[in-house]
Structures are given as structure tokens and as C-alpha cells.
Amino acid sequence: MTSWERSRFIPWTRLNEVSVPEYEHAKEQVYRSLNRDAIKEKESVSLNGTTDTKNRTNTFDAKVQTGVKTSSRNSVEYSTPDLVRSLAFGASIGSITGAVFGFMDGMRSAGESKILKNASNMAKGKFLMQGTTRAGATFGLFFSGFHGLKYGIRVAADPGVIWEMVGAGVLSLGALTIKPAMRVNIPYAGMLIGMDAFSYYMRVT
């Protein structure tokens, strides 16, 4: 590149530096100075770009890690002991409550039935025992399934206690409608779910 060609790249603000008797030497110094400034500026831009990229990458990683931690914190991990406890709790409460319901229904049926009125006390006791045992087993199985479904919904989606009760209640009550003979237990089953909801309400308030 000739001196004339180089002079074309000198900005007007620096022309006074080459307006000297030794203009060729001065022009060369200005040109080299411009070259150094350009190299420094390029290095500065490259360094800033690398820093910004690193910062964006670190910020993204931090957000991802935070999201993962938040997701892990909000999710419920499956635990067999917890599932067994839920099933056992539902079975115990359901069987006790069902036995009470069965005994009450048995007493009412015994009072309304003409055959049982004339039956012996042993026959009446056997009838009451059968009704109580059958109702206890039925509602124990029902309420155990209800709590098992609640736990399954919590592990799968964790939508909150209210939605867990709604989902588990719909599924468990729907299971009772499959057999016509079990549909008579739906009111008592609804009472059990209502008692569970009321118990939760009392705990949180």
C-alpha cells in the first residue's frame, strides 16, 4: 500500500498531525497509531462478547438449575412405606366407620323385618354380625382405595389436597356404581369422603 493510499484512511480530525515538513514520517506514525487503536478496539469487542456470552450462559444455567430445584422441591417422590401407610389408614378408618354403619343398618332392618322379630336372639345376633362384618370390609376396602388413589394423584401430579380428594372421590365412587348391589353404599361412602375433607379443613384452620 502506497503512502497516498494510506492517507485516504486517515480521519480528518488527525490531518493536522501530518501537516508538517516530514509528512511521510508523520503519516506513517498516524497510520500505525490508527492500526493499534483498531486492534485494541477489536480485542476489546471480542473480550466483551466472550464475557457477555459467558454471563448469558451462566445465567441460563442458573435458571435451569433453579427450575430443576424448584421442580424437585414441588414434586412428591414415590415411597412404598407412605403408600402402605395411606392404605392402612384408609382401611382402618373405613372398616371402623363401615362397621358402625353396618350395625346401624342391621338394627333398623331387624326392627322392620317381621321374620327377624320372631327370630331367636342368636339369629338376630348372627344377622347383625354378618351385616357389620360385610359393611366393615366393604368400606375398609373402599376407603383404603380412596387414600391409595389420593396418594397416586399426589405422586403423579401433586395438584393440591382438594384436587386429590376430588379425583380420588370421583374414581372411588365410580367404582361403586359398577355393581348395582354396591350402589346402596354410595351415600355412606360420600359421608366418609366428606369426613375426610372436614378433617383436613379442621387441620388447616
Q: Is the pLDDT of residue 103 over 60?
A: yes
**Cell numbers for 82:** 407412605
pLDDT at 72: 42
Task: Read off the pLDDT of each residue in 108-135 and give the average, rounded to a whole number.
Answer: 83
pLDDT at 121: 79
Can you give the length of the chain in residues? 205
80 pLDDT band, cuts 50/70/90, is very high
106 pLDDT band, cuts 50/70/90, is confident
Burial of 59 (0-12, 13-18, 19+ CB in 10 A): exposed
Q: What is the Cβ-side half-sphere exposure of residue 36, based on CA atoms within 13 angstroms? A: 6
pTM of the model: 0.60
pLDDT at 203: 83
